[in-house]
Structure 1
Amino acid sequence: MLIRLPCLRLSLLVALLSAAVPALAEPFHVGLVIPQSGQFKPLGDHVREAFSVWDNANPGVFDDIVEGEDGCSEQAGADAAAAMIEAGANVVVGFLCTESLAAALPLLSDENIPVITLTVRADIIGEEAARLGWKFFRLAPRAGSEADIASEAILRLWADKPFALIEDGAISGRELVEAIRIKLEERGLKPTFVDNYRPGQATQPSLIRRLKSAGVARVFVGGERSDLAVIAMEAERQGVALKFMGGDLLHAPQGELPLPDGTLAVLAAGATPGPEAEAASRILKDNGLIAEGLRIPAYAAAEILGTIATRMEYSETSLDEALRSTTFSTALGPVTFDENGERREPGFVLAILRDGEFKRLSIEGAARIGGDGQ
């Protein structure tokens, strides 16, 4: 016999049942705009592979992952943005080039679609995004923070030693060394010697003679790994005892000459994964992939979006607000974004070369090195 409950009691029962069952999150469509041809294709492959691995390990979290082409030009950026809008993407990861990102950001922001970049470091992009209200989020390290970490390391390790700042004359090297010099002098520490050198040489005898004449013992090199290797070789040949530090350009394949063991480097955090990346590295390895290039940063982006997609509050707040208000546990470590979409945690870390491989240094490790005379 069918028993009909009074309307009031039925309404109350429905309300109680509804309260006991969490509301389902809205469909979540992820867009990847990545290079699919040309010299940057391997990096685009890294992003695709990392998202595929995460998605296979967490089925059903993303409704779909759609891809667009990042042709690294303004027109390519605009075309990719239009394609993502048409595909109904909720969020876009990628735009590995500054030109395409700058063109796409205003178009996607007008449609309330946040963009997460894994590679673009230019400070100006973040400044423009903040000024114009673009929905911009940066997992890549901000360019200016490289000098922050380098100057802090020099203050911590070299403040009581004569040191030099040298650069290769390229815009990137010159700007990095100048930024470090300014930050150090603002805190009362001046380099003993500042100079530049000609890059791409097989030997650097005159540079080493100048460094020897200046009486320095430590040298920060704003230049490429191959040049630092030549400088170190020449210093050893002339019997000048020097210890070296460099920037993110040291994260490059070893050339004919090795860097001296103990070389310090300020590297992008994604280039030298810490213990937080062990689980991601393991699952990548299980899928036949090495944790290199953009695979760890891209995996971290998938973790961030997976957290957002499964939040019960997703239907109650905008995606960009959720990105700004959440602390994410990722393969890059904790990730939080400020009101302008910049990551609050340092994008660069201090590392040391041991047995041909850069290893991330903790504060305690840096202190021990300082005590050992670095």
Structure 2
Amino acid sequence: MLIRLALSPLPLLMALLIAAAPVRADSLHVGLVIPQEGQFKPLGDHVREAFEIWETGHPEIFADLVEGDDGCSEEAGTDAAAAMIEAGVNVVVGFLCTESLAAALPLLSAEDIPVMTLTVRADIIAEEAGRLGWNFFRLAPRAGSEAEIAADAILRLWADKSFALIEDGAISGRELVEAIRVILENRGLKPNFVDNYRPGQATQPSLLRRLKAAGVSRVFVGGERSDMAVIAMEADRQGVPLEFMGGDQLNAPQGELPLPDGTIAVLAAGATPGPEAEAARAAFEERGLIAEGLRIPAYAAAEILGAIATRMDYSQTGLGEALRSTTFSTALGPVTFDQNGERREPGFVLAIWRDGAFHRLSLEDMARIAGESR
């Protein structure tokens, strides 16, 4: 169902005051295409909450927020795009699923309506956008950059140590580990051991025997957090001293077994906000909300569109061109978009597990870990 959350008309006195103020660009009509039900509804709620909270602190910037339903299917994407066009929005944020995003992009782009996704990471979306001229922008991290960040971390921290790359056999884990291996070998560093394991096991004795026989001391795990915790427990049980690194799958609820302190993870920047997110965190806390899930990325999207809405020239240059030609200060840090709508800054950061939580890896942490490796 399409819901329009329009601002009330301004009283005459306020209108006169605004007329006397410096002229700025027209208020934006913003569409939010988010899941209204099902398992992804909490993420849709995060997006709505973030925009509403940003609006509370910055009234009259957006003309209205128009909601559409992202049912995560091609049909839902087509229906949502038609609803956004009919509502006359200037820009759409959302489309959390690849299927609905891919179906909506051609329709919205034909009407010169930019679309900004907060979650879809598939590299091919931006490639198709560039080839077909879609008005696409990605605030989510690009999938391929996860392997790039991980490989760079291994080169900087483990280059002089024996290390293994292991994966759980799933497509995501296998592709991540293979991409890391290729990057490392292209840069002159080969892993000492490459293997896979059976996920979802309560113990991993045979895997640990293989790791021990390979003589490795560092292990990158391309798999889920629960599996890494089991592997770490088995290493402790067998007396095999190992240190671990993993990908964004480690950003998951803690299970029965904890991760070992010192575990390094390549996480989406929104999962471990830096100091630039303090204002956003404070705004959420005032509403009794935790800055988790999509709240920080969605707040950053509101900041970007708010900055565009105050530019006097965006109506002349076009919203898409304004997005591509501006550097934005956001809760995710600086954001700039290239001609294909990809964010130029890395969407992933390195984090370390310490005292029951992931924290951004500091320069001091990097120096200490690199020093321990020598």
2:212 aligns to what? 212
- Counterpart-to-counterpart distance in 1, 2:330 and 2:138: 14
Helix, strand or coil at the partner of 1:199: coil
Give matches, 1:243-322, under 5 Å.
243-322=243-322
CA deviations 1:93-123 (Å, max 9, x no partner) are 0000000000000000000000000000000
1:63 aligns to what? 63
- Counterpart-to-counterpart distance in 2, 1:356 and 1:22: 50
Q: Would you say 1:80 and 2:80 are equivalent positions? A: yes
Select the structure of larger CA radius of gyration.
1
- Counterpart-to-counterpart distance in 2, 1:236 and 1:333: 38
Q: Does the CA contact (< 8 Å) of 1:22 and 1:312 recur in 2?
A: no
CA deviations 1:20-78 (Å, max 9, x no partner) are 97434123100000001000000000000000000111000000000000000000000
Give matches, 1:1-374, under 5 Å.
22-373=22-373
Unaligned runs of 5+ in 1: 1-19
Q: Does the CA contact (< 8 Å) of 1:28 and 1:309 recur in 2?
A: yes
CA deviations 1:195-247 (Å, max 9, x no partner) are 00000000000000000000000000000000000000000000000000000
Normalised by the length of structure 2, the TM-score is 0.93
- Counterpart-to-counterpart distance in 1, 2:288 and 2:238: 46
CA deviations 1:128-162 (Å, max 9, x no partner) are 01110100000000000000000000000000000
- Counterpart-to-counterpart distance in 2, 1:340 and 1:57: 31
- Counterpart-to-counterpart distance in 1, 2:355 and 2:373: 19
Helix, strand or coil at the partner of 2:50: helix
- Counterpart-to-counterpart distance in 2, 1:175 and 1:232: 22
Helix, strand or coil at the partner of 2:148: helix
1:12 aligns to what? none
- For the aligned residue pairs, the C-alpha RMSD in angstroms reads 1.1
Aligned length: 355
Q: Does the CA contact (< 8 Å) of 2:98 and 2:120 recur in 1?
A: yes
Amino acid at match of 1:126: A
Normalised by the length of structure 1, the TM-score is 0.93
Amino acid at match of 1:303: E
